[in-house]
Structure 1
Amino acid sequence: MKRGARLRGSAALVLASLAVLPNWGWAERPAALPQGPLDLDQAVRIGLENHPSLMAAQARTKEREAQVRSATAGYRPRLYAEGILRQGRQIGGEDEGRFTDDSEARIVLEQDLYDFGAREAAGRAARFEREAAELELFDAQQRRVLAIRRQFYDTLLADRQVQVWNEAMAVAFIRWDYGQGREELGEISPVELARLESRFRDFRSKYRGAQYDARLARVRLAHAMGLEDAMPRDLVRPDLDLDRELPSVQELRNRAWRTNPRLIAARQRLDAARARTERRKAQRLPRVVGEVGAQRYSRQFDFRNDVEAAIRVEAPLYEGGRLGARVEAARAAAQQERASWLELRQQVEENIYDAHLDVQSWQERRAYAEALVRHRELKTDLARTEYVLELETDLGDSLTEQTRAEMKLAEAKFGLAMAYDRLDALVGEPLASKTEKRQ
């Protein structure tokens, strides 16, 4: 009982986090991009409002809500009318041997009074399924936020790559152009000039490829946001707080076992399967039904009931093993759900370890990239000084290498941010409720 109470509390905690999220309304048409530069918060908001995968998840939630009403509908009061058109041959009396009208009409109100818990079990199963669907909707929102952020970062990195190859191409062109004059003066050989040209052509090809990749990254970002025929142009680089305290992997694992939405949803489905098993068992037992009816007859008798009230006991005596087979099928389904839940626990634990190690790895890569940027900045400053003093130097190479180092740092920061987001998603932390600047 205590474990069940804790699970229900965890489910309530994660479901309550849905209230933190905006009330996303589904538009008939995908929204247009906002005017001006696009920031990360805007991209997430548009994606949560428009992406088809979330529309499907919300539709499944509504379907489960309908199943809750349907599951208990059979146990609510039943009011029905019945009409019988009947002809019968009379025995005795003045009309003996003649066929006379013996039709009747009745209206009946029935209510199950006691069913050994079948109704309550059906309601619990439906509620568990609905809660599981709500958790799956929350998990779909989490995965959509992760997808949008990853594509947003990839687009920014694609822009950086364009800048890297553009600078390299510019330096190579200047050298090739300068080399043409030197070759005419006989200072370099035609072979060296051809090498300079091929180097420029190589960088130009890479620059063009980077431009194409940047365009494709924007299309993918638009699709991650649920947009069609749209290409985000200017992106605002997010200000990320990456100096977070990293809890121990054991602490994160234990928290994820309590609050991971997929894991809680799997537990809810297991509880629903067990409730359905209880319902199937109860259907093999008798049930008590209360009945109130009123009727009218076409033939008149001295004594006949026009209003009746009764308590009816229905007990299945023989049904060819149908009810027993349903019980066994429900038990097997519950065992499958339990196996899926246990397997998912292991998967969540593995994902926690992987994400925890990923954070540590990106922290190291970030530290290396920061050191590399400092080194390249010093080299560029030295190259500028030598250039001013008209010493032999190559300022273009220094600037290009500095840009490459800055790209490595941006890649490390975005990778670290995604690793933290992945950990947050695994422990059920609402990603969509975070502001862009997570400080």
Structure 2
Amino acid sequence: MIINSSNRQLAAKNYLLVCFIFYSDFVFSDAPKPLPEPLSLEYALGLSKNINEDLAFRIAEKNEILLDKSLADAQDGFNLSVEGRATRVERRNSFFSYIVDEQKLALRLTKSIYDFGNHKHTVNASDKLLDSNSLLYLNEIYSRQIKIMAAYFDILLADLRFHRNNENMAIAFISWDNSRKELELGKNSDLEVEKNHSEYQRVRRERFESENNQRQTRNRLANLMNSSGQLPASLATPSVSSRLKKYPEIEKLTKKAFENNLELRALRKKIESVQSSVRALQSKMKPQINFESEAIAYANELSRNSFSRENWNVGVVVGMPIYDSGEMDSQVAKVRVEIYRLETLIAQKKMNIQHELLSLKLKLDTLRFERDEADAFNEYSELFLDEKRALYELEVKSTLGTAMVQISDAQYGVAKSLYETLLTWAKIDLLVGDEPAEKLFKN
């Protein structure tokens, strides 16, 4: 019977306690704070650091790495064990044989003195994994900022679309109602009435679809902010960043992304961790120098004579593996395969980053022309509305309603091109390792 008592048990208990406290706080946390009215984009992005499922996964991963590191520290510390042995043996001498009950209890204390870098490399491997985990945690926050940004812009566009469709429905209803009145006066036909009725039903459907979209987009944003059930009633229009007039150079962006992309940096840290693991494995084939001390108690004199006459011992033990049937070589080879796999992932990630940056850069070029087009159409629509309003005030027949719908379309186009530009820049920020929220409001 052997009983080991060491820091490993304490480390495991602490780990379980930390996990219980963390997950209890995550699952059973209080209801989220009420959202401000109107909700601002700055406030929404500030909630990107609140714990959600993705961040909880990274925290759990970090706790697991910390446990491995604690176990490595424990293995390098003092280890206290108790060994009890009870056996029955038959002994013989020149004249007769006899049965002896042998009982022994030993208290053993051991401590590694020098392991040729095994502990150092093992701890370093855990530290590199922690660095990788921190980078991926930050990447989750930045990615969430982009999702919040996109959901926020979707709500603003949904509100503009609803406003446009609501106006269009009112105009269609008036046209249908006027055609019915003209039919009663004999100035119109059933065909014209049904035509206007059909048009009214079409725009009425569009109006209710856009109203449903308002709710869906708000629900999506609330979930991203961990505020499920709290649908923001009104949103503030964000201020325009001066970066709209800036256009990136693809070569500089690619170089920066290859150096600073968070996922690439995390993969490089994982490679460094695996390399430390290789060195730790290789050190196991070198001598191990340990301190050992043992106190021994015997049940009787016969047991003492059977085992040994010593009551205690203190010494330094040097051990060195000689042959392991290739087990260590296989473990090292397996770890080196992992390095090759990670290097392949880095190459693939670089290729994807280069492709995404080029696509986003070309999209910015296209959006520049879309914004010019939207601005021109908006200016024209404003003048068109002024003209129709003047004719309406002079009681001259005019299509004022059509002009109002047109100005709503123009405003929607301007907002859409603006928000797509900001969102495209945010995606570029993520690829090059910058924080999208910080860059969005930086002049």
Question: Into which bin does the TM-score normalised by the smaller protein fall?
Answer: 0.7 to 0.9
Tell me how far 1:396 sits from its aligned partner. Answer: 0.9
Letter in 2 for 1:344: K
In the TM superposition, what are the counterparts of 1:2-401 in structure 2 within 5 Å? 26=26, 28-88=29-89, 97-244=97-244, 245-300=246-301, 304-401=309-406
Deviates most, 167-176 or 312-321: 312-321
Give the paired residue count: 413
The secondary structure found in structure 2 opposite 1:36 is coil
Q: Contact (CA 8 Å) 1:106, 1:295: kept in 2 or not?
A: yes
Name the aligned partner's letter for residue 250 of structure 2: V
Note if contact 1:101-1:299 (Cα within 8 Å) is conserved in structure 2. no
Distance, in Å, in 2 between the alignment partners of 1:103 and 1:438 is 78
Identity of aligned residues (%): 22
Output the CA distance in 1 between the equivalents of 2:36 and 2:340: 54
Instruction: Report which stretch shifted further, 40-49 or 190-199.
Output: 40-49
SS at structure 2 position matched to 1:243 = helix
Counterpart CA distance in 1 for 2:75 and 2:355 is: 44
Quote the Cα distance in structure 1 between the aligned partners of 2:351 and 2:433. Answer: 16
Q: Secondary structure at the match of 1:28?
A: coil
* Deviation (angstroms), 1:157: 0.8
RMSD: 2.6
DSSP-derived class of the 1:106 partner: strand
Residue 7 of structure 2 corresponds to none
Matched position secondary structure for 1:391? coil
1:89 is displaced (CA, Å) by: 5.1
CA distance in 2, matches of 1:107, 1:248: 70
| Per-residue deviation, 1:69 | 1.8
Structure 2 CA distance for aligned equivalents of residues 323 and 129 of structure 1:
23
Tell me by how many angstroms 1:348 deviates: 2.0
User: What residue number does 2:434 align with?
Assistant: 429
Whether the 8 Å contact between 1:218 and 1:232 is mirrored in structure 2 is: yes
Aligned position for 1:15:
none
Residue 154 of structure 2: SS of its match in structure 1?
Answer: helix
Render the CA deviation track for 1:396-431: whole Å, top value 9, x for unaligned.
Answer: 111110011001111111111111111111222224
On the 8 A contact 2:58/2:137 being kept in 1, the answer is yes
1:403 maps to which residue? Answer: 408
**Secondary structure in 2 matching 1:34:** coil
Structure 1 residues 212-240: Cα deviation after superposition (integer angstroms, max 9, x where no partner): 11111111122222233332222222223
Evaluate the alpha carbon distance shift between residue 236 and residue 270 of structure 1 in structure 2; reply closer, same or farther with a 3 A threshold: same
Classify 1:436/1:258 alpha carbon distance in 2 versus 1 (closer, same or farther; 3 Å). closer
Q: CA deviation at 1:320?
A: 3.0
Shift of 1:262: 0.7
SS of alignment partner, residue 103 of structure 1:
strand
Distance in structure 2 (CA, Å) of the matches to 1:354 and 1:30: 41
Counterpart residue identity of residue 389, structure 2: R
Q: Deviations over 1:173-198 (max 9, x none)?
A: 11222222222233332212221111
CA distance in structure 2 between the partners assigned to 1:49 and 1:29 by the alignment: 13
Q: How far off is 1:259 after superposition?
A: 1.4
SS of 2:434's partner is: coil
| Partner amino acid, structure 1, of 2:179 | G
Counterpart residue identity of residue 104, structure 1: K
**1:135, distance to aligned residue in structure 2 (A):** 1.0
Distance between the aligned counterparts of 1:109 and 1:411, measured in 2?
A: 72
Structure 2 unmatched ranges of 5 or more: 1-24
Partner Cα distance (1:289, 1:338) in 2: 38
d(CA) in 1 for partners of 2:114 and 2:256?
A: 42
Residues in 2 aligned to 1:294 and 1:420: alpha-carbon distance in whole angstroms: 70
Where 1:78 maps in the other structure, the secondary structure is strand
Distance 2:237 2:71 in 1: 49
CA distance in structure 1 between the aligned counterparts of 2:31 and 2:41, rounded to whole angstroms: 18
Instruction: Give, in angstroms, the shift of residue 370 of structure 1.
Output: 1.4
Using the alignment, how far apart are the partners of 1:96 and 1:89 within structure 2? Answer: 11
| C-alpha contact (below 8 Å) 1:242/1:413 kept by paired residues | no
Does the CA-based 8 Å contact 1:68-1:130 persist in structure 2?
Answer: no
Could you say if the C-alpha distance between residues 40 and 96 of structure 1 is closer, same or farther in structure 2, counting changes exceeding 3 Å? farther
Q: Which amino acid aligns with 1:42?
A: Y
Conserved? CA contact 2:37–2:235, under 8 Å: no
User: Aligned equivalents of 1:159 and 1:96: distance in 2?
Assistant: 105
Matches of 2:441 and 2:127 in 1, distance apart?
A: 38
Structure 1 351/436 Cα, relative in aligned 2: closer, same or farther at 3 Å?
Answer: closer
Change beyond 3 A, Cα 1:332–1:30: farther
SS in 2 for 1:255: helix
Q: Please tell me whether the aligned partners of residues 48 and 141 of structure 2 are also in contact (alpha carbons under 8 angstroms).
A: no
Tell me which moved more, 362-371 or 241-250: 241-250
Give the match for residue 10 of structure 1.
none
Kept in 2: contact 1:101–1:298 (CA 8 A): no
Contact kept, 8 Å, 1:36 with 1:234, in 2: the verdict is yes
CA distance in 2, matches of 1:79, 1:341: 45
Query: Are the structure 2 counterparts of residues 274 and 29 from structure 1 closer, same or farther at C-alpha, using a change threshold of 3 Å?
Result: same
2: CA distance, partners of 1:292 / 1:349:
61
1:438–1:197 Cα change, 3 Å: farther
Counterpart in 1 of 2:10? none
Per mean C-alpha deviation after superposition, the further-off stretch among 111-120 and 201-210 is: 111-120
> Could you list the runs of 5+ residues in structure 1 that have no partner in the other structure?
1-24
